[in-house]
Amino acid sequence: MTVYLKLTQVPDIPVEADSITPSHFAGKSVAEIKKLPVLQGNQTVELGSFFSVEGDSGPTADETEISVSGDLRQVKMVGKGMNGGRITVDGNTGMYLGAEMIAGRIHVKGSVGAWAAAEMQGGNIQIEGDAGDYLCAGYRGSPDGMTGGRVYVAGDAGREMAAHMRKGFIAVKGNVGELAGVRMKGGTILVVGNIDERVGVEATKGMILCLGKIDALLPTYKFSGSSEREFVNYYLRYLKNRRPDFLTEDIDISEKWAKFMGDFAEGDPKEEIYVRAVNSEHLL
C-alpha cells in the first residue's frame, strides 16, 4: 500500500523530516500522517504544513511504500533510521537521506545531499544522480561508518565517502572525490569511474576496486603484483546482474589488476586496493 507525499511549499529554512519512514506511517490514516512532527529551525511543525498526503499506509512498515515528489533539497533526513518498507523520491533530496538505515529500500530518481546513508546498518539505497560528501560515512567523532547494506550511485560521489566503513557494499558509476575510505575497517567499494587522491588514509581492512584511474596513492601503500583476479570478475558479474547500466564496457576475464596493500602507517593493515593495470601504469 502506498502513501503519496507532494511538497506544496518549498521551505525557506531546511526541514528535518525523519518522520518520513514506513515505520512512522504504518497503520496511520492520512489525517494522522499529516500531524507527524517535522523540525524547522527551533520550531516543531506538522508534516502537513509542507506536504499534501494521499493514499493508504499498510498495517506494517514492510507493507508500506512512500512516494515523495517535489524539490526536496531543503528537506533533510528522509528515511533516517528506516527499518523496512520502501521509499521512492521523484527528484532531488537533502542531507542525511537514509542515515542510520536498518532495513528496506530507498530509490532516489535524482541527486542527494551530504551524509546520505551515514552509519547505514542494512537495506538498499539506489541513487540515480550524484551523492554529496560523506556518503556512507561515520559522523564526526564516531568510530564506525557504514556497517551493512548496499548503496548504488549512478552519478558521482563527493569527498570522504565510506569514512570508517566496517561492512557493506558501495558501487559508484561515476567519479569519487578525495579521501575515500578514510579509516576503512571492512566492506567493499567498487568505483567504475576515477577516484581522487588520498584514498584509503589510515585504512586497515576492506577492499576498493577501481575500474578507472587513481591519480596517486599514499607512499604507505605497497605494490603487491599485477595479475588476473577471478574474485574481481565475481564482483563485476554481481554488479552487472543488479545494475547493468553501470558497466559501459565489457572487461575481459583475463585482464590484469594491480594490487596495493596498506595503509602501512597503521602497523599490519589488510586494506586492498585493486586498479585495472591498463589504467595504472603510472602507479607501478
Residue 16 lies in a domain: no
Residue 101 lies in a domain: no
pLDDT at 177: 97
Could you give the CA distance from residue 147 to residue 267 in angstroms, rounded to a whole number? 23
pLDDT at 17: 96
What is the number of structural domains in the chain? 1
Residue 39 lies in a domain: no
pLDDT at 60: 94
Which residues span the domain enclosing 134? Answer: 111-283
Residue 37 lies in a domain: no
Residue 132 lies in a domain: yes
Could you give the CA distance from residue 217 to residue 208 in angstroms, rounded to a whole number? 12
pLDDT at 91: 94
Strand segments (E) across 147-204: 147-153, 167-172, 185-191
Residue 53 lies in a domain: no
Residue 48 lies in a domain: no
Residue 95 lies in a domain: no
Mean pLDDT in each 10-residue stretch from start to end of the chain (284 residues)?
93 94 95 95 93 94 96 96 97 96 97 97 98 97 94 98 97 97 96 95 96 93 89 92 91 89 90 91 82
pLDDT at 190: 97
Q: Residues 24, 32: contact at Cβ < 8 Å?
A: no
pLDDT at 97: 98
Q: pTM score, two decimals? A: 0.95
